[in-house]
């Protein structure tokens, strides 16, 4: 597994600036799109998937004539999912590389830090999957193609309280922007669906041993567990919950959405349910084509961050084509008015730059993610407007 991971990283990081060539288009005549993405550090696996998804979208665009007669050139920097790294990277993308639009394939901390730089410079910036609500509040040049954390948390409450009919819930919350945003949304909607939150336990992103939490959850005797985390924390957590004799449903979110979660948790992953953006069993041509193309390019199964990187890059490319120029305001206005079919659903934005789309619910069956249901309540899923 480790060898495969390094092959994935090598695929995504062969060069830090790439032009994806197209017959009939001069490669020197290119239009630059920036991307900050973790290629090393704790988030490298997610960053690699997001980057390969973005690269795939660029290749597909160039195979279809590029953008306004130019090739798409990705300017790529490793931000290590670090806010301290993201700020100078954003500055470099704006001032040195002169990108016309940029996307984040990174986590909330790095994305929040970079967003202010792009807003101040008047360069459109699209967050592929970071969930913190303050990202789009940086200003009118910042957009998000995945759900804000609170929206996904509210969807989790509906899933547990209404769809599963479970009322006594224990929260296990990752103590960072991601986990706390999700927990806030869940708490906001819990009463609406008749949910009693028995207890909430927090843990650090560095934690891999959860014995004390498992003992407390067992004592709580909940009907269900709502647990935030990334695949590398959720895998050990779920495995230890099951080893501790806790068999109630575990509901997670898009941070679990990787085949690596299933590899880490093993048999304990069976039956785990998550809210996310990618439906593996979708009949949508966009989703089916993306899943097949990504797996051929990457050599492993598509995940949420891959689909989100692909979606954000498709939005950037569509906006450049729609704008018909390299004027940042024209590009920004094109993003704001866009409606686009992507692997993660139909993408359109509200006035704050937040996406409006359905929540996909996936469940682990026989060692793979499959469709459980879809949550399409427009009032419940309404993103913030200000």
pLDDT lower than 70: segments of the chain: 1-28
Would you call 229 helix, strand, or coil by DSSP? coil
Cβ-contact 123, 101 below 8 angstroms: yes
Looking at the structure, give the CATH architecture of the domain made up of residues 149-276+360-375: 3-Layer(aba) Sandwich (3.40)
The residue assigned the tokens 């806010």 is 83
Give the CB-side neighbour count of residue 228, counting CA atoms within 13 A. 28
Q: Give me the residue spans of the domains in the chain.
A: 2-147+283-355, 149-276+360-375
Name the residue among 273, 266, 161 with its Cα closest to residue 227: 273
Cβ-contact 235, 264 below 8 angstroms: yes
CA 363 to chain centre: 17
**pLDDT in the model for residue 21:** 41
2-147+283-355 and 149-276+360-375: identical CATH topology: yes
Note the CATH number of domain 2-147+283-355: 3.40.50.2300
CA distance 267 to 196: 29
CA distance 46 to 321: 28
DSSP structural state of residue 316 = H
DSSP β-bridge partners for residue 252: 274
CA distance 18 to 336: 27
CA distance 305 to 146: 10
User: What are the distances in angstroms from CA 123 to CA 159, 264, 326?
Assistant: 38, 39, 10
Q: What angle do CA 84, 350, 88 make, to 5 degrees?
A: 15
pTM of the predicted structure, to 2 decimals? 0.91
**pLDDT in the model for residue 50:** 98
DSSP β-bridge partners for residue 67: 70
């Amino acid at each position: 597994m480790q060898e495969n991971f390094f092959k994935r990283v090598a695929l995504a990081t062969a060069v830090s600036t790439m032009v994806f060539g197209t017959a009939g288009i001069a490669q020197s005549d290119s239009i630059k799109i920036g991307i900050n993405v973790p290629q090393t550090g704790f988030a490298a696996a997610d960053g690699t998937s997001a980057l390969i998804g973005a690269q795939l979208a660029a290749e597909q665009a160039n195979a279809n004539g590029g953008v306004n007669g130019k090739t798409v050139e990705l300017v790529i920097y490793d931000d290590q999912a670090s806010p301290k790294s993201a700020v100078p990277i954003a500055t470099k993308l704006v001032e040195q590389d002169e990108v016309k639009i940029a996307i984040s394939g990174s986590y909330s901390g790095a994305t929040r830090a970079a967003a202010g730089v792009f807003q101040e410079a008047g360069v459109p910036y699209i967050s592929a999957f970071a969930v913190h609500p303050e990202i789009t509040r940086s200003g009118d040049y910042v957009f998000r193609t995945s759900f804000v954390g609170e929206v996904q948390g509210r969807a989790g409450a509906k899933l547990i309280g209404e769809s599963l009919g479970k009322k006594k819930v224990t929260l296990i919350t990752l103590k960072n922007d991601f986990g706390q945003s999700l927990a806030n949304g869940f708490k906001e909607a819990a009463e609406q669906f008749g949910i009693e939150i028995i207890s909430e336990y927090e843990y650090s992103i560095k934690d891999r041993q959860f014995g004390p939490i498992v003992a407390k959850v067992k004592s709580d005797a909940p009907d269900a567990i709502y647990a935030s985390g990334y695949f590398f924390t959720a895998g050990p957590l779920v495995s230890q919950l099951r080893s501790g004799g806790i068999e109630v449903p575990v509901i997670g979110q898009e941070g679990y959405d990787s085949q690596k979660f299933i590899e880490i948790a093993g048999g304990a992953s069976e039956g785990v349910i998550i809210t996310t953006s990618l439906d593996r069993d979708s009949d949508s041509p966009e989703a089916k084509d993306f899943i097949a193309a990504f797996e051929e390019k990457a050599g492993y199964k598509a995940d949420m961050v891959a689909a989100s990187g692909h979606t954000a890059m498709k939005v950037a490319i569509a906006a450049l084509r729609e704008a018909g120029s390299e004027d940042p305001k024209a590009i920004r206005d094109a993003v704001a008015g866009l409606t686009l079919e992507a692997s993660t659903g139909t993408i359109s934005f509200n006035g704050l730059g937040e996406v409006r789309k359905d929540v996909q619910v996936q469940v682990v069956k026989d060692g793979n993610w499959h469709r459980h249901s879809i949550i399409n309540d427009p009032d419940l899923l309404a993103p913030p407007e200000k």
